[in-house]
Structure 1
Amino acid sequence: MWARASAGVVPGFFLAAALVGLGCWVLPGPWQSTIVAGLVAFFPVWIGVICAAFRFPDGKQAWGWLGALALLGLGLLWLLQMSGWVR
């Protein structure tokens, strides 16, 4: 149980940040106008990821999947920034 909880907290934090970051960059307008909405949405998204971590059968799978998804999401944000599609 503790392994799944820590998987939801640690890589889940980065996964939630990536999801909210992608959501903010999808919205129209400059990114500055989405900061408040992103900050408000971050905590519920993070809590949702923590709850989803308990759906995995064991902590090893939770750490693996959430870590991989967090790396994928943050990598996608980095690629979007480096390509110049978002500013």
Structure 2
Amino acid sequence: MWGRASAGIVPGFFLSAALVGLASWLLPGPWQSTLVAGALAFFPVWVGVFCLGFLFRSGARAWIAYGAFAAAGLLLLWALRQWQWVQ
């Protein structure tokens, strides 16, 4: 149980940041206009990711899955910025 909870807290934080960041960047208009809405949406998304972590069979699986998804999401944010698809 503690492994799944810690997976929801640590890599779940970065996964939530990546999800909210992608939503903010992919909406039309400048990303600055979605900053407040993204900050307000971050906490409920993080709580949802945290709760979904308890559906995994073990803490190790939760850490691996959340870590991989968080890395992929943050890598996608980095790639979108490097390719200048977002401003």
Q: Please name the residue that 2:76 is paired with.
A: 76
* Separation of aligned partners in 2, 1:55 and 1:9: 15
How does the TM-score come out when normalised to structure 1?
0.99
Q: Please name the residue that 1:35 is paired with.
A: 35
1:22 is paired with a residue whose SS is helix
2:82 is paired with a residue whose SS is helix
How does the TM-score come out when normalised to structure 2?
0.99
Cα deviation code 1:23-69 (max 9, x no counterpart): 00111111110001100100000000000100000000000000000
Identical positions, percent: 64
Residues 1-87 of structure 1: pairs in structure 2 closer than 5 A: 1-87=1-87
* Separation of aligned partners in 1, 2:42 and 2:18: 10
Letter in 2 for 1:33: S
Query: Which consecutive residues of structure 2, in runs of 5 or more, have no partner in the other structure?
Result: none
How many residue pairs get aligned? The number is 87
Runs of 4+ in 1 over 2 A off after TM superposition: none
